Structure 1
Amino acid sequence: MISRRHFLSAGLAALAGSSAWANAPAVSLRPLARKKGLAAAHVSGLDTLLARSGLQGKVACAVADAKTGALLEAEGGAAALPPASVAKTLTALYALDVLGAEHRFTTRLLAAGELRGGVLHGDLILAGGGDPMLNTDHLAELARALKQAGVREVRGAFKVWDGALPRVKTIDPEQPDHVGYSPAVSGIALNFNRVHFQWKRAAKGWSVTMDARTQKYRPEVDMAQMRVKNRALPVYAYTDKNGTDSWSVASQALGQGGSRWLPVRHPGAYAGDVFRTMARSQGIVLGTAKVIQSLPQALPLAQHQSPPLPVMLKAMLKFSNNLMAEMIGLSATAATGARATSLKQSAAVMTRWAEAKYGMKNSQLVDHSGLGDASRMTPDDLVKVLVAAHQAGQLKPLLKPFPMRDRKGKVLKSHPIKVVAKTGTLNFVSGLGGFMTAADGSELAFAIFAANTAARAQIKRADRERPPGARGWNRKAKILQQMLIERWGQVYGS
């Protein structure tokens, strides 16, 4: 986890693709007759593959020629199923279209008062700009810049503005409280809105810490607290105590030691807590942060800018980071001028954008990350979007390689089919969408969605992290994805 955060916070510029970021035209899929040949004659039919998969629930898929848009094959192409994180492909295109490839997110330090002789006679404001990649190192740099700007003392209050985006307590309320992939969302974020909980066995009980660590810093925080309770279950319990994230953990689950990233529910307070520590290291003493949603008139003192948007989108897609998807999607909606106060409202704006731009008519999303299982997308819709994005050169450079594997899961490095795609996984939900290059050089766009919604509906909220049966079901879904790609490569690209 630390290496992931380090990667996302530094040196990402080399990941940006060089393709143009022009708007993609809407493309209508046209049916095309299958190839007739020796290779195709010995390939199992699509119906046969689906029947043999042993996968309970619904499977839908579609594949098209990526260059012409000609539809080659589909099964249940109009069936709307949960896309899981495959939805992030649409979010990436939405952000590029609305915000532009040159967009950067800016976090600022502002002075609401006069600076005289090193003393700020007024309030200091840490103003979030919707940057989902802001981390502790960046706050340390801002604290140094504050000192370089001549500030030695702040006579007024210390405030954190998080009003650039709406406040959302958790990305998906159906997820357990303790999962780090469903944190709070607001106009400021730090360390992907996760706090590091570590415990070690001590002479009496356990020694516990809650900090905002990176590879360079480990500032402990006050706004997130942990107590060890003598119990077996639940492993974690959460309470909001007047703006403090109050956690307890079961002693019988701790063992000798370990660590875990927990979600932050008060991002503004979290960022303010850590910045106070960094400012104090520069000799600047600040009061407890007050989180505000309205930004007063103020003068700039220092700022931090994120990497360019394509770099961030590549990281978002590679690591399937939910917070990045939500904050970038919300920022794009705000840039359209639409007023959205929730993820669902913002996702609806994105859905309408996709219908107007790509003709995506039978899909409806409830967030920008795909974490909410109420989102629906059809393979036909996604393939239509993929073909248009391919023709514009937008999405393919951002997607990560999807390795072909043998039946035991071993990567086949010399496999003739090359795939770049976005995966999507929830319990009893599996999706895959992207591009494949067959042995003869044919480029295909494809979408595969599978879901057992009945089984998913039976999962208790407390069991959402590892429900019985989900792992085996998802393994079968991934095997089926490989088999479908193999089939398409032989039938349409050999």
Structure 2
Amino acid sequence: MTQQFSRRFFLGSVAAGVVAPSAFAAPPNTSLRPVLRGGDLFRRAIPTASELIEASNLKGQVAFVVADAKTGAVLEQKAPTMGLMPASVTKAITALYALDTLGADHLFETQIVATGGIIEGEVQGDLILVGGGDPTLDTDALAAMAGRLKDAGIHSVKGGFRVYEGNFPRVSRIDPEQPDHVGYNPGVSGLALNFNRVHFEWKRGNSGYAVTMDGRSARYRPEVAMAVMQVQDRSDPVYTYRDDSKRDTWTVAKRALGQSGARWLPVRKPGLYAGDIFATMAGANGIRLRNLQVIDALPAGAELIVTQQSAPLHDILRDMLKYSTNLTAEMTGLAATIARGKAPRTLKESAAEMNQWAKTKLGMRNPALVDHSGLGSESRISASDMLTALVKVNNSGTLKPILKTIVLRDEKGRPRRDHPIKVDAKTGTLNFVSTLAGYMQAPSGREMAFVVFSADEPRRAKLSRAQRERPDGGRAWNARAKRLQQKLIERWAAYYVS
């Protein structure tokens, strides 16, 4: 792209209102800048980053850095060493950590084993469902395992049905500061099902509400016993949760339900949830399982009967970065830490191991992550540190192919799939936190790595726990942050043409 084209591209965006501050809304009576000559004349017409930030009306902190993706030479930056919440941009670091430790072809295995031997199709001891760290296991997969158990000739079990969640720590929720009922904050262990979410559905009838709690997937909708819901005649709070020893007990406010609806709720007891669903699927195959219990250790000498393998880790992480699934990030991060010979008791301990790895392998100076998903509000990374990681892996072909393609928008806010700027990046969103980090290719062909972190920490700190699902003003703040991200990207594409 020539300099003349770059100027026309950017000024076209200005005229359309995409990237210009309010000063450019109408033509001035006199020139805002002197008439210049020279090869870089077009750059003088491009708003500065400071002008774009001021025009965005985005309260809080903004930090960014952009560099040549190949050389790492910094082109422009603002507050590059200020530590801010990275939100789900953390998942890009987690993906690199898991790939480096486990390998792109790594397969997670969920197993069914038996104790006591098998005589004429009857298990003489216990049947055990064994978690192997697969974050993508769903009800369809458990149904397939139950079918293969029958195909293996098993028709009965003398002992009980046990669930072993693997050697992962058991965590009741990723971030204790989140509301109880948000589905993106489930429990974590070495066994997961349906991303550790249970489907709650309600419908008003003549005698009140009919409610169901099930573990649905593409083919099946088995109801569960380990999660129960009661409708109560109140308006607030909308949900309450109580941790009973054998089940998750929920209540919901009757006045908040309306005629009908559904939502996913988090599962706090992943082992019981998976065991509940598997027992149903085994029963559908004529195999009765009794006395479900979660055990802390796998008995020696158990006989392997059925194995269920996940997709390759590369594919799992690609989907994680696309859909930003917190559970996948936590489980793959924990799996990597355990594979490195550590025994983390908490997500924070595992994240500390990842922080050390990031210093050694990515050259980051001071990553301070408290989990693998970015959900925890105590995590901090500087824009400079994140950029260092992006430049480090740029030529390896490790991260960029699994990043999500970000479609920029036109002057009316509509996605423009033929936009001349190409962006592959990871987004991050928390209440009054918006982040974006990845790679961009300008119309000139120049490739750049960039990081934009925005946060209004004082406003976020004022939120109560109950307000964190949909805080007043949160959506508008986030929209302004995303518009600023695009304006900065368009500035860089037009300004740094070579």
TM-score, length basis structure 2: 0.91
- In 1: Cα distance, 2:385 partner to 2:344 partner: 24
Taking the aligned partners of 1:167 and 1:72, their CA distance within structure 2 comes to 45
1:396 maps onto 2:396 in alignment:
no
Provide closer, same or farther for how the CA distance between residues 192 and 39 of structure 1 changes in structure 2, counting only shifts above 3 A: same
Question: Which of 263, 277, 286 is residue 260 of structure 1 equivalent to?
Answer: 263
Task: Give the aligned partner of residue 456 of structure 1.
Answer: 460
Q: Deviations over 1:56-94 (max 9, x none)?
A: 110000011111111111111111100000110000000
Q: Does 1:284 align with 2:309?
A: no
- Secondary structure of 1:113 counterpart: coil
In the TM superposition, what is the alpha-carbon distance from 1:36 to its structure 2 partner?
Answer: 6.7
Secondary structure at the residue paired with 2:117?
Answer: strand
Contact preservation (8 Å) 2:213, 2:227? yes
Post-superposition Cα deviations, 1:12-43, rounded to whole Å, max 9, x if no partner, equal xxxxxxxxxxxxxxxxxxxxxxx972332211
Q: In structure 2, what residue type is equivalent to 1:410? A: R
**How many pairs does the alignment contain?**
460
Amino acid at match of 2:426: K
**Residues in 2 aligned to 1:448 and 1:265: alpha-carbon distance in whole angstroms:** 34
| Structure 2 partner of 1:319 | 323
The answer for the alignment partner of 2:369 in structure 1 is 365
Q: How far does residue 407 in structure 1 lie from its aligned partner after superposition?
A: 4.1
CA distance, structure 2, for counterparts of residue 344 and residue 104 of structure 1: 25
Q: Which runs of 5+ in 2 are unaligned?
A: 1-37
Partner of 1:447: 451
Matched, 1:380 2:384: yes
Match of 2:139 among 133, 136, 144: 136
Corresponding letter in the other structure for 1:318: K
- Mapped to 1, the partners of 2:365 and 2:489 lie a distance apart of 26
Q: Show the counterpart of 1:59.
A: 62
Partner residue of 2:4? none
The Cα of 1:333 is off from its aligned counterpart by: 0.5
C-alpha change, 1:493 and 1:293, in structure 2 (3 Å) is: farther
- Counterparts of 2:68 and 2:55, CA distance in 1: 26
How far the C-alpha of 1:492 sits from its partner, in A, is 1.0
Pairs within 5 Å for 1:336-355: 336-355=340-359
Deviation at 1:50, TM superposition (A): 1.6
Is the Cα–Cα contact under 8 Å of residues 163 and 292 in structure 1 kept in the other structure?
A: no
Among residues 78, 81, 85, which one is paired with 1:78 in the alignment?
A: 81
Note the residue ranges of structure 1 that are not aligned, 5 or more in a row. Answer: 1-34
Partner of residue 173 from structure 2, selected from 170, 173, 183: 170
SS in 1 for 2:126: strand
How many angstroms apart in 1 are the aligned matches of 2:475 and 2:151?
A: 53
> Structure 1 residue 361: deviation in Å?
1.1
Q: Give the alignment's TM-score, normalised by structure 1.
A: 0.92
> Is 1:214 aligned with 2:223?
no
Q: Deviations over 1:383-430 (max 9, x none)?
A: 110111111111110011111113432112332111011100001000
Aligned residue for 2:237, secondary structure, equals: coil
Q: Which amino acid aligns with 1:444?
A: M
Q: State the shift of 1:151 in Å.
A: 0.7
Corresponding residue for residue 270 of structure 1: 273
Name the CA distance, whole Å, in 1 between partners of 2:238 and 2:325. 25
Aligned to 2:205: 202
76-85 vs 63-72, greater mean Cα deviation: 63-72
The structure whose Rg is larger is: 2
Deviation of residue 275 (structure 1)? 0.3
The Cα offsets for residues 349-396 of structure 1, whole Å up to 9 and x where unpaired, read as 101100011221122001000011110011111111011111111111
* 2:422 paired residue number: 418
Residue of structure 1 in register with 2:409 after alignment: 405
Supply the AA of the counterpart residue of 2:195.
Answer: F
- Give the alignment of 1:223-262 within 5 angstroms: 223-262=226-265
Per mean C-alpha deviation after superposition, the further-off stretch among 260-269 and 287-296 is 287-296
Change (3 A) 1:36 1:351: farther
Matched to 1:149, the amino acid is A
| CA displacement, residues 105-153 of structure 1 (integer Å, 9 cap, x when unaligned) | 0000001111011111011010000100000000001001111111111
CA distance in 1, matches of 2:292, 2:39: 69
Preserved contact between residue 273 and residue 288 of structure 1 (Cα < 8 Å): no
Aligned residue among 459, 476, 483 for 1:479? 483
Please state whether the residue corresponding to 1:62 is helix, strand or coil: strand
Give the Cα separation in 2 of the matches to 1:288 and 1:447.
52
Distance 2:497 2:322 in 1: 27
Whole-Å separation in 1 of the counterparts to 2:254 and 2:170: 33
Structure 1 window deviating more from structure 2 (466-475 vs 449-458): it is: 466-475
Letter aligned with residue 96 of structure 1: L
Residue type of the partner of 2:85?
P
Pair 1:69 & 2:52 matched: no
Q: Is the 8 A contact 1:419 1:435 kept in 2?
A: yes
Following TM superposition, by how much is the alpha carbon of 1:164 offset from its aligned partner in structure 2, in angstroms? 2.4
Among 182, 186, 189, which residue is 1:186 paired with? Answer: 189
Match of 2:440 among 426, 436, 440: 436
Counterpart amino acid of residue 312 in structure 1: I
Q: Which portions of structure 1, spanning 4 or more consecutive aligned residues, are displaced by more than 6 angstroms?
A: none
* CA deviation string 1:251-273 (max 9, x = no partner): 00111111010000000000000
Indicate if the aligned counterparts of 2:188 and 2:327 stay in contact, CA closer than 8 A. yes
Aligned residues of 1:399 and 1:422 also touching (Cα < 8 A): yes
CA contact (8 A) 1:145 1:302 kept: yes
Among 330, 334, 339, the alignment partner of 2:334 is 330
2:102 pairs with 1:99: yes
Instruction: Output one character per residue of 1:152-208: Cα deviation in whole Å (capped at 9) or x when no partner.
Output: 110011100013211001001000000000000001000000000011111111000
Do 1:407 and 1:479's aligned partners in 2 also have CA atoms closer than 8 Å? no
